[in-house]
Structure formats: C-alpha cells, structure tokens
C-alpha cells in the first residue's frame, strides 16, 4: 500500500511540472483532496484494496483526507509544491492507477471536481446529507466506484487508430494526409 504523502506528492509534483509548462493548473489543497478521493475510489474498484490507509471524510467542499488537509492548510488556495517521489514508492499497479487518474482528472477544473463529488448519490452526498458522521465508509466508496469508469492507459492506447503507410520511401513510411487527419 502506498503512503498518503507519496500519493499527494505525486499529484502535486505532476501538477507543478504541468503548470510550469503552461499545460495545466497548479495543485491546490482543495484540488488535491478530490484527486485523492478519486484515486482511492478507483483503486478500490480495480483491486478491492485501498491505495492509502487514511480515512476520507465528508466536508463542506467534498471528500477530504484530514491528515493531508492539515499538511497544506497553511497554503490556503495557493499552489502546493512537492518533489516527485521515487518510482519505487509505488507498486506497478499503484503507479499505473495514479497515471490513469491524472490523465482522466487533470482535464477538469477544481470546481468541476467539487461538483462531481457533490452529485446526488455519491458517497460524499449520502454522508453529508443523511448522516451525523463525517467519515465516508470505504465500502460505500468502493460500491460507488464499481459503476464509475476510469479508462486505463491500455484502453486509451487501444483506441488510437492504426494508420498504415501507403508506401515506404527510403525506409520511411509515407502516410496519406487524408487518413492521418481523417479528411475525406
């Protein structure tokens, strides 16, 4: 099982790198909490085991891992900074999941992620609106994510169409612009 700090640092460092390249948003504490929630849910779906051991609670703006929130609460809504953890901090399965979660969720704004966690029927919604507890039961998260798709990298690669070259010129494949750009 991965350590929560390593998972958090993975998402923060990746967002930091992408933001520096002007290819995405920096990671805030609010955004990180949603990424952790989705990562935990999809790991439970894929393996039946949690990605990290810490509990997730229902707070006003969605699911939160309290220990992680405490680490970064002093940053407010400012971007978080972290070093990328060593690759060996994660099992191959965990690493693949983290990359899949990033690939899927990085395209959404923080407010969209909050909205996704607040939808009727989500574990957060059920706890926030119908119970007096704060902790979101891990089995409830797993049950919810059983019906939620996270396209994996294998599926994404399989969805890329194969384009065969028309011929080879000096050993280099030559493609039809019509096929490459799907222009008819």
CA neighbor of 71 nearest in space, from 80, 63, 83: 80
39 φ/ψ angles, rounded to the nearest 5 degrees: -60, -45
Q: What is the pLDDT of residues 32-73, one digit of tens each?
A: 999 999 999 999 999 999 999 999 999 999 999 999 999 999
- For residues 16 and 81, the answer to whether their CB atoms sit within 8 Å is yes
- CA–CA separation, 117 vs 111, rounded Å? 10
With a cut of 90, say whether residue 177 has pLDDT above it: no
- CA–CA separation, 55 vs 33, rounded Å? 12
| pTM, 2 dp | 0.81
- CA–CA separation, 9 vs 20, rounded Å? 16
Assign 184 a pLDDT band (cuts: 50, 70, 90). Answer: very low
What mean pLDDT is predicted for residues 1-18?
Answer: 95
Q: What is the pLDDT of residues 112-133, one digit of tens each?
A: 999 999 999 999 999 999 998 8
Find residue 167's DSSP bridge partners.
174
With a cut of 50, say whether residue 183 has pLDDT above it: no
| pLDDT at residue 19, as a whole number | 84
Q: What is the pLDDT of residues 139-150, one digit of tens each?
A: 999 999 987 776
């Amino acid at each position: 099982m991965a350590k929560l700090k390593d998972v958090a640092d993975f998402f923060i460092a990746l967002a930091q790198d992408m933001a520096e390249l002007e290819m995405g948003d920096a990671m805030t504490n609010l955004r990180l909490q949603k990424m952790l929630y989705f990562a935990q849910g999809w790991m439970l779906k894929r393996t039946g085991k949690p990605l990290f051991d810490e509990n997730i609670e229902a707070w006003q703006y969605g699911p939160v891992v309290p220990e992680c929130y405490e680490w970064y609460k002093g940053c407010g809504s400012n971007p978080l900074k972290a070093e990328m953890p060593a690759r060996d901090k994660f099992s191959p399965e965990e690493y693949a999941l983290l990359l899949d979660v990033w690939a899927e969720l990085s395209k959404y704004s923080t407010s969209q992620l909050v909205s996704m966690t607040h939808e009727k029927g989500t574990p957060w919604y059920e706890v926030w609106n119908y119970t007096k507890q704060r902790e979101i039961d891990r089995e409830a998260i797993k049950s919810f994510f059983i019906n939620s798709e996270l396209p994996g990298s294998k599926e994404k690669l399989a969805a890329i169409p194969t384009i065969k070259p028309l011929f080879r010129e000096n050993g280099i494949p030559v493609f039809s612009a019509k096929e490459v750009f799907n222009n008819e």
